[in-house]
Amino acid sequence: MDAINELPEKSRRIIFDALKDLEKDPWPGRNGDKEKLHLEDDLEIYRLHIERGYIALYTIHAGDHAVKIHDVMTIEQAHKKYGRL
């Protein structure tokens, strides 16, 4: 997540605020910004759309009441790395 620190202050604030909101409710819901992905392995990974330009990939550890952020990147970077999620 070092690349986040290189972003303009406003973008950093938006990203960190969105990630902090995952503490309250990490589960996909009605507003459509969170989605469970169906990947090849058994890992249950979720995607969070942040504004119109960024994606965070995370897992939920319900027993520990924890969310682990695996990656934050631009949508373009995500498409190059993972294809269309």
DSSP H/E element including 54: strand 54-61
Mean pLDDT score of the chain, rounded to an integer? 88
Q: What is the pLDDT of residues 27-43, one digit of tens each?
A: 998 778 999 987 767 77
Determine the structural domain holding residue 21 and report its residue range: 2-82
Inter-CA distances, 6 with 3, 21, 55, 67, Å: 5, 22, 16, 24
CATH number of residue 46's parent domain: 3.30.2310.20
Spatial contact of 46 and 58, defined as CB atoms under 8 Å apart: yes
Q: What is the pLDDT of residue 48?
A: 96
Contact 57, 31 (CB under 8 A): no
Count of the separate structural domains present in the chain: 1
